[in-house]
Structure 1
C-alpha cells in the first residue's frame, strides 16, 4: 500500500466546505501517480517506453465527504493485472483511521506509438507488488444506458481540461458532470465509464437522465457517442 498525508485545503472544497467527487478523484489520481513515481514506473518511464495508463472505469463509495481543514490519509494499491488491464483500489481515512471514501478503478495500458492496448510487461506488474482487493461490493465495469435523455447545451473542450497526455483528464469529465447535479442530490456512490478520449476543441454534448435514486450524465460527441458515462447513486 502506498499512502500520503494531507490536509483538506480551502481551494479544494465546495460551498458546503466539503470535498466533492472531483476533488476526491484528484487526490486518488495524485496518489496513484506518486506511487508509480516512487517505484520507478512513473511518467518519465512511461514516456520513454511509449506507454500510458488510461482510465477505463471508476467506482467511488462515500461514507463521509472530507471537510475543510481536516487531516486525511490517502492510500492506493494495485490488486490485479490482466493482459492490458490494471486494477487499483483507493482509500481516504480521517485522523482516527475511519474510512471516509473507498474506490475501485480499472486502467488500460496503452501503446502510444500504435494507439492500441499493450500487454503489461512483467517488470511493470512486479513493481507494484499486488495486494488483496478491498472488501466492497464491486459494480460492473460497464454502465447500462437508459433509452431517454434530455440534452443540455454543448460546449467545447478547453486547454484547462487537458492533462500531460493531451487528452481531457479523467477527473475533468467528473467536474463537467457535477455542473448538472440537482441541488440536494447527495450521492453516496459515483461510477464512471470512459469510452473514448476528448481532445482540445472537441464539442461535448451533455445528455442527462434522472430517476428516483440515480442521476446520470453522458458526455457525448456530436454523433451522440459517449466520451464518458457518469452515474451518481443515492
Structure 2
C-alpha cells in the first residue's frame, strides 16, 4: 500500500467549505502517480519505454466530503493484473481513521507508439505488488446507457484541461459533467467509463438523462462517438 498525508486546502473547497468532488478525485489520481514515481515507474520512465497506463473506469463511493483545513490520509494499492488490465483501489481517511471515500479503478496498459493496448511485462508491474481489494459492491466497468438523452450546448476542450499525455485529464470529464449537472456536486456514488481520449481542438457535445435512481452525462464528439460517460447517484 502507498499512502501520503495532506490537509484540505482552501483551493480544494467550494462555498460550503467542503472538498469538491474533482479535488477528491485528484487526490486519488495524485496518490497513484506518487506511487509510480517513488517505485521508479513514473511519467518519464514510461515515456522512454513508450508505454502508459490509461484509466478505463472509475467507481467512487463517498461517505462524506472532508472540510477545509481537515487533515487526511490518502491510500492506494494495486489489486490485480490480468492480461491488458490492472485494477487499483483508493481510500481517503480522516484524522480519526474514518473512511471518507473509497474507489475502485480499472486501467489499460498502452503502447503509445502503436497506440494500442498491450500486456504489461514483469518489469511494468512487479514493483507495485498486489494486495487484497476493498470489501465493496463492485459495479460493472460499463455503464448502462439511458434509452433517451437530451442534447446540450456544445463546448470546446480548453488548453487547461490537457495533461502530460496531451489528452483531456481523467478528472476533467467529471468537472465537465458537473458544470452540466451542478446538483450532482455532492453525489455519493460516481462512476465513469472512458471511451476515447479528447484532445485540444475537440468539441464536446453533452447528452444528459435524469432517471429515477441516477443521472447520466454522455460526453461525445461532433461525430457522435463518446469520450466518456459519467453516472451520479445520491447517498
Q: TM-score range by the shorter chain?
A: over 0.9
1:163 aligns with 2:144: no
Q: How high is the TM-score relative to the length of structure 2?
A: 0.97
CA positional deviation for 1:185 = 7.0
The 4+ residue runs of structure 1 with deviation greater than 6 A are none
Equivalent residue for 2:192?
192
In 1, Cα distance between equivalents of 2:204 and 2:89: 29
In 2, Cα distance between equivalents of 1:184 and 1:147: 21
Contact 2:21 2:186 in 1 (8 A): no
Equivalent residue for 2:54?
54
With 15-24 and 75-84 compared, the bigger mean Cα shift is at 15-24
Equivalent residue for 2:87?
87
CA positional deviation for 1:182 = 4.7
Equivalent residue for 1:24?
24
Q: Please list every run of 5 or more consecutive structure 1 residues that lacks an aligned counterpart in the other structure.
A: none
Equivalent residue for 1:3?
3
Q: 1:1-234 to 2 correspondence within 5 Å?
A: 1-183=1-183, 186-234=186-234
Contact 1:21 1:190 in 2 (8 A): no
Query: Structure 1 residues 24 and 184 mapped into 2: Cα distance closer, same or farther (>3 Å)?
Result: closer
In 2, Cα distance between equivalents of 1:215 and 1:22: 17
Query: Structure 1 residues 110 and 217 mapped into 2: Cα distance closer, same or farther (>3 Å)?
Result: same
Q: How high is the TM-score relative to the length of structure 1?
A: 0.97
Contact 2:54 2:110 in 1 (8 A): yes
Q: Deviations over 1:5-50 (max 9, x none)?
A: 0000010111211122211110011000000011111111101100
In 2, Cα distance between equivalents of 1:114 and 1:184: 38
With 62-71 and 179-188 compared, the bigger mean Cα shift is at 179-188
Residues paired across the two proteins, number: 234
CA positional deviation for 1:144 = 1.1
In 2, Cα distance between equivalents of 1:184 and 1:198: 23
In 2, Cα distance between equivalents of 1:216 and 1:88: 24
Contact 1:79 1:88 in 2 (8 A): yes
